[in-house]
Structure 1
Amino acid sequence: MIDKYGVLTYESDIYVKRDWINLGDYVQSTAAKQFFPTVDAFIPRDHMNAYSGDPVKMIMNAWYMDLPENFPPSPEVNPLYVSIHINSTIAEKIFTPASIEHFKKFAPIGCRDFYTRDMLRSKGIDAYYSGCMTLTLGETYKRENVTDDVYFIDVMYDSMSLPELIKQPLRFGKRILNGRAFEFSHRKKVLSKYFDQELLSKAKFETQILPYISAKEGFKLADDFLKRLATAKLVVTSRIHTALPCLAMGTPVIFVNGGFKNKVDNCRFDGLFDFFNRIDVGDNADSTINFEFRGEKIGLRTEVTNKDIHVSYGQELIAKCKSFAQE
């Protein structure tokens, strides 16, 4: 019986050189961490193959991966594969004979999206749709002491405003060439259509993208972030690892589905979109919604009720992870 536990982190030279992290990665690791009585090893996702400590159990929910040549993980890692995503950008590199054999050994593989499930099945690997591990975060983070705080977190983050584009001249030039330069007004157009000015003026605007930090700092910031989400009046976001924890905790959330123009993003969402109250945005910032609210626009006194499609997936993940931790 293995009685030591590992958790994925994002500490290594590749992340130091890149000099930024997505806090959503530590939100995902926090979701896994909550099921273990202790954490005996913090193991960088892209260097799991180099781990040589005592055997550990690990819940392997993650995006796979920036260095696909470093997969599969060390034999000292006993994995539970749930909520994994294999991105289209590295699909051809990760599926080596050794990796396929590894996945088959630990199948069935729980996938965060239909794209990953279908790709694994095409390789002869038993796979199923599990939903995302962040749907379990209501186990730890309770909706108590609700505030009047409204958060807009990375809304339409790929449809950059003019000040944002000016700070990135190479990207601005590329967008002029590909015809996307005038998207800088899209975000403002969408927000002003659905949210009244009082709410927009009082809302807090944040980002999940942060300068590189250590794992210790990452887990601390993720914990603070989740506590804020749990007490928020409303959250509006285009980040799945903000929106899904809100669903798990019962915080009203609206997912703005717009501005995603690359294959890195688009392959990640199939299977998750139906969980959300959504604002769906087209190429010209034309938009529709899939939920109802009272009044002409959403304001500070508007009641937004989440859907409940996600609930059974969260419950199944909780049961599976508790069983794995206790085996």
Structure 2
Amino acid sequence: MHPQKFGYLEFRYGNNPKRRTVNVGDNIQSIAVRRLLNRLDVQDTRIVGIDRDSLRDYDGEPVKLIMNGCFHDDCFPLPPQIEPVFFGFNAETESVITKNKALFLKHQPIGCRDNATKRLFDKHRIAAFVTGCATLTLAKRKAPPAGGRPVIAFGAGSGVLQQNLLENIPKPILEHARLIYQREPVNEVPLSDDAVKKMDSLAQSYLDVYMNEASVVVTPLLHVASPCLAMGIPVVLARRDRDDRFSAIDRMVPVYTPSEFSSIGWNVVSHEVESLKGAMIGVAGKLVQGAKPEAEDMAVLAKTFDAAPVLQPRTQSKLRRRLKRIFGKR
């Protein structure tokens, strides 16, 4: 009998033939899941990559697949060779859930990447909880770099740098910052094996920059902010809107939008996530084994992700003034 295989998602984008650039953050997710499996004592020889965008056409050997990331309708139905492990799952649309309800009922409770996805499962009476993104399980760096500098990392679409943000970043940060554009042009899709390896290598090089050089990271991107939090790097998360995909990370750090850019606190410090990370790894380990997660680990996840979003300083100030008007001084 062959040893059990475990899978992580690759991203080849065959569902979008017009794509001309790829989001290197997807490859950061792939790296994070491989390292998570390693931490669960799964050797590399038992780990296989499976393309998200041709998932329903998979015809390889049986595999337990970590279902971390954003899934669209064309990923389903899953073939019988795939045993899903729902950890960090995000549904692109509600139809992903309604069209595959039997699958989710069979594997509930579903570990979701964010609260927005959990609410969709709640709506359809499918048990679910929030795990956060697998990139939060990356190892913490040993110490901040001597002589580190700011890093500003951005992308395309909703991940662009807002002009209003640039106008509010302090001059010393702008003058010394390294800029990283976390997208990469491609000649054709679906990506070849060589192209996937290239993107993985590029993703690792960006992670190395964040870990070894960054004194602070300013970004609108989930898959910059989340891995940097895990690595113990101070993060300023500033973007054009509060996308539902950020409805887990916003329980740890503020998500600044344009009206709040002028109130960003730039003396930011790293956020402690080691206890959360330990609970995430514990839950993932049990899910991979097909076992029930420990109550203590689930409680740690709930304490973080069931909390209200972190308020921006301006919002906090407004709330304090409103409460003072209502209740007066105590």
Q: RMSD value over aligned CA atoms?
A: 2.8
- Comparing 1-10 and 24-33, the one that deviates more: 1-10
What residue number does 1:168 align with? none
3-state SS, counterpart of residue 95 of structure 1: helix
What residue number does 2:323 align with? none
Q: Does 1:149 align with 2:149?
A: yes
Out of 208, 211, 217, the position equivalent to 2:182 is 208
Residue 315 of structure 1 aligns to which amino acid in structure 2? G
Contact 2:87 2:110 (8 Å CA) reproduced: yes
Q: Does 1:74 align with 2:76?
A: no
Paired with 1:144 and 1:37, the residues of 2 have a C-alpha distance of 30
Paired with 1:189 and 1:311, the residues of 2 have a C-alpha distance of 33
Shift of 1:112: 1.3
1:171-190 per-residue CA deviation (whole Å, 9 max, x = no partner) reads xxxxxxxxxxxxxxxx3443
Shift of 1:45: 0.5
TM-score w.r.t. the length of structure 2 is 0.74
Contact 1:107 1:126 (8 Å CA) reproduced: yes
Residue 250 of structure 2 aligns to which amino acid in structure 1? F
Would the alpha carbon gap of residues 2 and 325 (structure 1) be closer, same or farther in structure 2, given more than 3 Å must change?
farther
1:38-78 per-residue CA deviation (whole Å, 9 max, x = no partner) reads 2543211021111111111211101012xx13313221112
What residue number does 1:274 align with? 251
Task: Report 1 or 2 for greater relative contact order, CA contacts < 8 Å, sequence distance ≥ 6.
Answer: 1
Q: Which runs of 4+ in 1 moved over 6 A?
A: none
Shift of 1:247: 0.8
Q: Trace 1:1-327 onto structure 2 (pairs within 5 A).
A: 3-15=4-16, 17-34=18-35, 35=37, 36-38=42-44, 40-65=47-72, 68-87=73-92, 90-92=93-95, 94-97=96-99, 99-138=100-139, 143=143, 145-154=145-154, 158=158, 187-196=162-171, 198-212=172-186, 214-231=195-212, 232-256=214-238, 258-260=239-241, 266-276=243-253, 278-282=255-259, 287-289=262-264, 291=265, 293=267, 304-308=268-272, 310-324=273-287
1:146-173 per-residue CA deviation (whole Å, 9 max, x = no partner) reads 5523211118964968xxxxxxxxxxxx
Paired with 1:211 and 1:142, the residues of 2 have a C-alpha distance of 33
3-state SS, counterpart of residue 46 of structure 1: helix
Structure 2 unaligned segments of length 5 or more: list them.
Answer: 291-330
Paired with 2:82 and 2:149, the residues of 1 have a C-alpha distance of 41
Task: State the aligned residue count.
Answer: 275
Contact 1:276 1:306 (8 Å CA) reproduced: no
1:262-293 per-residue CA deviation (whole Å, 9 max, x = no partner) reads xxx722122221312554422xx76423x573
Residue 15 of structure 2 aligns to which amino acid in structure 1? I
Paired with 1:136 and 1:242, the residues of 2 have a C-alpha distance of 13
Contact 1:230 1:251 (8 Å CA) reproduced: yes
Structure 1 unaligned segments of length 5 or more: list them.
Answer: 162-186, 294-303
Paired with 1:159 and 1:132, the residues of 2 have a C-alpha distance of 18
1:230-261 per-residue CA deviation (whole Å, 9 max, x = no partner) reads 112221101011011111011121111x313x
3-state SS, counterpart of residue 268 of structure 1: helix
Paired with 1:288 and 1:226, the residues of 2 have a C-alpha distance of 28
Contact 2:5 2:47 (8 Å CA) reproduced: yes
Paired with 1:62 and 1:274, the residues of 2 have a C-alpha distance of 18
TM-score w.r.t. the length of structure 1 is 0.75
Paired with 1:160 and 1:292, the residues of 2 have a C-alpha distance of 20
Would the alpha carbon gap of residues 292 and 108 (structure 1) be closer, same or farther in structure 2, given more than 3 Å must change?
same
Paired with 2:57 and 2:228, the residues of 1 have a C-alpha distance of 35
Would the alpha carbon gap of residues 11 and 155 (structure 1) be closer, same or farther in structure 2, given more than 3 Å must change?
closer
Paired with 1:124 and 1:312, the residues of 2 have a C-alpha distance of 30
What residue number does 2:322 align with? none
Paired with 1:146 and 1:71, the residues of 2 have a C-alpha distance of 48
3-state SS, counterpart of residue 52 of structure 1: coil
Would the alpha carbon gap of residues 234 and 160 (structure 1) be closer, same or farther in structure 2, given more than 3 Å must change?
closer
Would the alpha carbon gap of residues 149 and 157 (structure 1) be closer, same or farther in structure 2, given more than 3 Å must change?
farther
Paired with 1:29 and 1:276, the residues of 2 have a C-alpha distance of 24
Query: How high is the sequence identity, in percent, across the aligned residues?
Result: 28
